[in-house]
Chain A
Amino acid sequence: MSGKGAGLVLMNERAGEGELVIKPVTLEDVPAIVGIDAEVTGSAKADFWYGCYARQNTDAKCRFLVAHRDGEVAGYTFGAIQAWEFGSPPCGWVEVISVAPQYRNAHVATKLFDAVVAYFRDNGIDTVRTMLHIDDHQLISFFRMQGMAAGPYIELEMQAD
């Protein structure tokens, strides 16, 4: 997951060889997504994932995609088109991308990324963004490998005490 703490280990066990199918998430996919996220992050967030599913059904500016291999959920991504937040012209945010541990090292994340970028492109978006934890070097490396680099915005925060 990008920006919300889920990890993505690209070099791991050898993945299955079946055909990879990428399509919009259905209600039946959500429990597997909740399970993969819980396994990767160590915390179950069912409300969040069902919320993503509901959001894609009501908001045409977002896309929740799942990758299936051998009938199993291998990975998923969530992308959203946002305009004028932080003063930015319309751009596509890759909010989430994650792959189940047993399907890593098989370009699943790359194909999910390509699919969500294609969705942005088909909707007239020519800038893609994401946000990551500064210490998540592996996931930052993944996005850099896809061609992403630091952009013109910077994140600031403080304790509200």
Chain B
Amino acid sequence: MKLQQGTMCAIFAVLHMASRPKEQIPASEIAETYGVSQHHLAKVLRTLSLAGIVESTRGAGGGCSFIGDARKITLYDIIKLFETGWFAGDSNKPRGQSDEAGELYRVMGEVDRHTAATLQSVTLQTILNNARRTARRRENGVADGRMIVAE
């Protein structure tokens, strides 16, 4: 799965801000951390601001901050702001083709359904929590993996 650069920039920026809620973070810090131009980041932040996810403040001490609910906003919510038409479902399916083509579209739909379900169930808070778990495991010398019992 490959997302556009702007979409990845948006996800990184939102996670960066959500990890420090209520803090005004200079846009230059985000641009530098993720290696994106400030001009590109400004466009992304404008879209996120219109969606009510971030807020920007100008002037000394200004910056941008996360104002959404990290427990409710999912990766899907961010991606759909930037990847218009990505989850088009059956609307792109040509009609009147062969049974083989129909079966191929069914398989593609299966992939899309799983992708959408995954993105719709991963909240920003889940990513932040899992990143913290990974850091804790690393600090404790525990190999990272799927095993969750020894929390």
Residue numbers of A with Cβ under 8 A of B are: 11, 92, 117, 120-121, 125-128, 134-135, 137, 140-141, 144-151
B-side interface size class: 20 to 34
Given A135-B117, A137-B121: A147 and B150 within 8 A (CB)? Answer: no
User: How far does the alpha carbon of A92 sit from the alpha carbon of B74 in the complex, in Å?
Assistant: 28
B149 touching A140, Cβ below 8 Å:
no
Contacts of A126 in B (CB 8 A): 147, 149-150
Say yes or no: is B146 at the interface (Cβ < 8 Å to chain A): yes
B residues 114-151 in Cβ contact with A at 8 Å: 114, 117-118, 120-123, 125-126, 129-130, 133, 146-151
Supply 16 A–B pairs (Cβ within 8 Å), ascending by A: A121-B150, A127-B146, A127-B149, A134-B114, A134-B117, A137-B117, A137-B121, A141-B74, A144-B123, A146-B148, A147-B129, A147-B148, A149-B130, A149-B146, A150-B118, A151-B146
User: How far does the alpha carbon of A120 sit from the alpha carbon of B149 in the complex, in Å?
Assistant: 8
Residue numbers of B with Cβ under 8 A of A are: 71-72, 74, 113-114, 117-118, 120-123, 125-126, 129-130, 133, 146-151
For A146, the closest partner residue in chain B by CB is B148
Contacts of A120 in B (CB 8 A): 149
For B119, the closest partner residue in chain A by CB is A137
Which 8 residue pairs spanning A and B have beta carbons closest together?
A: A140-B121, A147-B148, A137-B120, A134-B117, A121-B149, A141-B121, A144-B126, A137-B121
Contacts of B151 in A (CB 8 A): 117, 147
Contacts of B121 in A (CB 8 A): 137, 140-141, 144
